[in-house]
């Protein structure tokens, strides 16, 4: 049986979720080929344990993201079960590849068993769907839902220089305002809501985040109220879905739209002055306190570790 | 020149979801709404229409109740509506994409706007899949689009921030949340919408033979109940919680 993995890249290297894709693929058994768009991360991918072959795709079309042209080049190499990350680009590319090879796609799965039975969260996390599908097909996997494969492999790297006509031309790149970690990538996320009172108070969240290497997120209410808090920080239904090992919600009441984006976090800590805030309903550890009192204490305690 | 906006009716985010007999019970959903990202697609589709990029048709595929969503779209300025009446709940991505691609062709549209994913299935396959079928340029994670002569300029999120991209017809834009205000219908719009006729068709009217779904839904289940958490009073408990995170949860 063949499994094709679409490498998720980060800059010129590989994104750690790629190791999780290989980990999930290895649990099914089979011959694993990793496709590296633009050749990015080819060397990194070749040393992931379990990978048989890496195809480094070096056509001109891979210089900027165009799911149409990328998928045209990648579809002929997409054999058996095709796996990608359920990142925005992974979903888009996965759907285009599925369409080009004429197979269905199931997005954002959190479990896969031989046979193939997949599970995923639907209805904003209010239900879990289990479905069965057969190879060939495309699936995208939720980040941090699968164990990553270790290093130590030595797969051959094959270079392919195919390109396809580009139909999306990038005219201007606009860099992110801050250089903080993306909430989707972080093991620990600390988020603030409108309870923070003022956007300038997010600096207190940043301070705690710096101590434990966390990313800083925000609720929709905070993003909608304050221009200083960009949408890229928003966790929840019209923002990002996160799956960290620890999620700390500060001054967030816990509207259903927010819970939809973070309830699958492994551990949730809520800090809120309102003891009846719905966020306490999903929290493993709740602290009824103002952020003004709790955050300095949190920074100090975490600093001691 | 025709612009199409794809809309999906989903349970309102605040609606309670109950599972019965291994399936989400659709009949118990108290309130249905237009999927949130689709609302941004609709807003920008209206702006493109007003900028002279073409007539605007709103298309949905869903059961009878989805017609209300099309009437709501007409009340804010959509020119025509196409309703493909079908139960999409057990369809796989290929089936739903074939229906919508055929519906778009039926309307003669070469510019398509949709949400990046629907709030119920949370997938994000439909837009890019249709773009592939249409041979259209696909731009995802869009938060803004405008007409520029014969082509379009769009702002999309990228891994390093945002990118301004340009595309020509045929093209498809899948919308992320945008910072624009959504327009609400006024009385005149609502009255006008009541007089507009929704074109209603079936998948077979569009010449689609969908075949069998290749993804079999085995079951829906309620998410596993989390054991009740521990709650502490006052900032003095921060120390206790940090200790528990280290020793009980083992996450820091």
Could you please report the per-residue DSSP string of B31-51? -EEE-HHHHHHHHHHHHHHHT
Residue-number span of the structural domain to which B15 is assigned: 2-223
DSSP result, A253-289 = ---HHHHHHHTT-SEEEEEES-TT-GGGGT-SEEEES
Q: What is the arithmetic mean of pLDDT over A280-294?
A: 97
Q: Which of residues 215-274 of A touch B (CB under 8 A)?
A: 231-232, 234, 237-239, 241, 245-246, 256-257, 260, 263, 266-269
Does any CB of chain A come closer than 8 Å to the CB of residue B89? Answer: no
- What's the CATH number where B15 sits? 3.40.50.620
pLDDT at position A179, please?
Answer: 64
Q: How confident is the model at residue B160 (pLDDT cuts 50, 70, 90)?
A: confident
Task: Decide if B132 and A95 are in contact by the 8 Å CB cutoff.
Answer: yes
- CB contact under 8 Å between A68 and B222, yes or no, is no
Q: Is B50 on the interface with A (CB under 8 A)?
A: no
Beta bridge partners of B144: B155
Q: How far apart are CA B132 and CA A99, in angstroms?
A: 6
User: Stretch A15-19: mean pLDDT, rounded?
Assistant: 96
Percent of chain B at pLDDT above 70? 100
Q: What is the pLDDT of residue B60?
A: 98
**Domain parsing of chain A, residue ranges:** 2-160, 183-304
- Asked if residue A149 lies in contact with residue A28, where contact means CB atoms within 8 angstroms, the answer is no
Contacts of A257 in chain B (CB under 8 A): 13
The CATH H-level (homologous superfamily) assignment of domain A2-160 is: HUPs (3.40.50.620)
Highest average pLDDT, of A94-98, A172-176, B247-251, comes from A94-98
The count of structural domains within chain B is: 1
Q: Which residues of B touch A238 (CB under 8 A)?
A: 36-37, 177
pLDDT value of position A298:
97
pLDDT class of B179 with cuts at 50, 70, 90: confident
CB contact under 8 A, B24 and A127: yes
- pLDDT of B169 reads 97
- The Cβ of residue A211 has, within 10 Å, a number of other Cβ atoms equal to 15
Assess if residue B11 is contained within a domain: yes
Distance of CA B99 to the CA centre of its chain: 15
Q: What is the pLDDT of residue B29?
A: 97
What pLDDT shows up at residue A162?
Answer: 96
**Quick check: B227 pLDDT over 90?**
no
Nearest by CB: A285 against B140, B171, B229: B229
CA distances from A18 to A49, A271, B30 (A): 12, 34, 41
A227–chain B nearest CA distance, Å: 10
CA distance A68 to B193: 37
Interface of B with A in 65-84 (CB under 8 A): none
**Mean of pLDDT over chain B:** 96
Identify whether B237 is part of a domain: no
Q: What is the pLDDT of residues A69-81, one digit of tens each?
A: 999 999 999 999 9
Share of chain A above pLDDT 70, in %: 99
Mean pLDDT of chain A: 95
Nearest to A88 among B37, B140, B165 (CB): B140
Rounded-to-10 torsion of CA B171, B163, A40, A44: -120
pLDDT confidence band for A177 (50 / 70 / 90)? low
CA closest to A214 among chain B residues: B252
Assess if residue B231 is contained within a domain: no
Residues of B in contact with A117 (CB under 8 A): 218
Looking at residues B12-29, what average pLDDT do you find?
A: 95
**Confidence check: pLDDT of A178 > 70:** no
**A294 contacts in chain B (CB < 8 Å):** 235, 238
Q: Chain B contacts of A289, Cβ < 8 Å?
A: 233-235, 237-238
Instruction: Report yes or no on B243 lying in a domain.
Output: no
CB contact (8 A) between residue B158 and residue A290: no
State the pLDDT at residue B96.
98
The whole-number average pLDDT for the span B92-111 is 98
Check if B37 contacts A (Cβ < 8 Å): yes
Question: CATH says A183-304 is which class?
Answer: alpha beta
Does A108 contact B at CB distance below 8 Å?
yes
Q: Which residues of A touch B116 (CB under 8 A)?
A: 88
Cβ distance B1 to B110 under 8 Å?
A: yes
Mean pLDDT of B60-74: 97
């Amino acid at each position: 049986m063949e499994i094709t993995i679409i490498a998720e890249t980060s800059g010129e290297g590989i994104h750690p979720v790629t190791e999780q894709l290989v980990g999930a693929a290895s649990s099914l058994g089979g011959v694993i080929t990793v496709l590296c768009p633009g050749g990015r991360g080819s060397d990194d991918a070749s040393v992931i344990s379990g990978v048989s072959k890496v195809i480094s795709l070096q056509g001109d079309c891979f210089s900027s993201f165009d799911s149409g042209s990328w998928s045209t080049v990648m579809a002929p190499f997409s054999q058996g079960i095709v796996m990608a990350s359920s990142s925005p680009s992974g979903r888009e590319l996965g759907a285009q590849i599925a369409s080009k090879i004429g197979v269905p796609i199931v997005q954002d799965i959190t479990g896969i068993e031989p046979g193939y039975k997949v599970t995923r969260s639907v209805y904003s996390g209010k239900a879990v769907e289990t479905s069965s599908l057969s190879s060939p097909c495309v699936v995208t996997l939720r980040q941090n839902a699968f164990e990553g494969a270790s290093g130590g492999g030595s797969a051959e790297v094959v270079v392919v220089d195919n390109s396809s006509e580009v139909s999306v031309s990038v005219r201007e790149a606009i860099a992110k305002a801050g250089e903080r970690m993306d909430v989707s990538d972080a093991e620990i996320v600390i988020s603030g809501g409108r309870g923070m009172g003022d956007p300038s108070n997010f600096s207190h969240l940043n301070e705690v985040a710096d101590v434990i290497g966390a990313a800083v997120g925000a609720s929709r209410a905070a993003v909608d109220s304050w221009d200083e808090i960009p949408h890229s920080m928003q966790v929840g239904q019209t923002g990002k879905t996160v799956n960290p090992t620890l999620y700390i919600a500060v001054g967030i009441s816990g509207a259903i739209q927010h819970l939809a984006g973070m309830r699958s976090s492994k551990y949730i800590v809520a800090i809120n002055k309102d003891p009846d805030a719905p966020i306490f309903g999903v929290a493993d550890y709740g602290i009824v306190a103002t952020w003004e009192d709790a955050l300095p204490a949190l920074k100090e305690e975490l600093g001691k570790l | 020149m025709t612009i199409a906006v794809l809309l999906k009716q989903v349970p309102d985010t605040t609606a309670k979801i109950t599972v019965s007999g291994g399936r989400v019970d659709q009949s118990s959903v108290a309130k249905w709404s237009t999927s949130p990202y689709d609302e941004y697609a609709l807003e920008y589709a209206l702006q493109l229409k007003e900028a002279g990029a073409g007539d605007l048709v709103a298309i949905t595929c869903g059961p009878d109740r989805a017609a209300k969503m099309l009437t709501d779209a007409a009340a804010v300025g959509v020119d025509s509506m196409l309703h493909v009446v079908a139960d999409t709940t057990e369809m796989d991505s290929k089936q739903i994409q074939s229906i919508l691609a055929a519906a778009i062709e039926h309307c003669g549209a070469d510019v398509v706007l949709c949400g990046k994913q629907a709030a119920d299935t949370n997938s994000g396959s439909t837009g890019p899949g249709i773009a592939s079928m249409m041979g259209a340029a696909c731009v995802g994670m869009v938060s803004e689009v405008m007409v520029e002569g014969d082509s379009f300029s769009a702002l999309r999120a990228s891994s390093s921030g945002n990118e301004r991209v340009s595309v020509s017809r045929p093209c498809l834009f899948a919308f992320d949340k945008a910072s624009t205000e959504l327009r609400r219908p006024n009385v005149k719009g609502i009255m006008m919408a009541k007089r507009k006729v929704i074109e209603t068709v079936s998948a077979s009217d569009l010449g689609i033979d969908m075949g069998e779904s290749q993804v079999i839904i085995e079951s829906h289940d309620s998410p596993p109940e989390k054991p009740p958490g521990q709650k502490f009073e006052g900032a003095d408990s921060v120390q206790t919680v940090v200790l528990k995170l280290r020793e009980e949860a083992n996450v820091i």
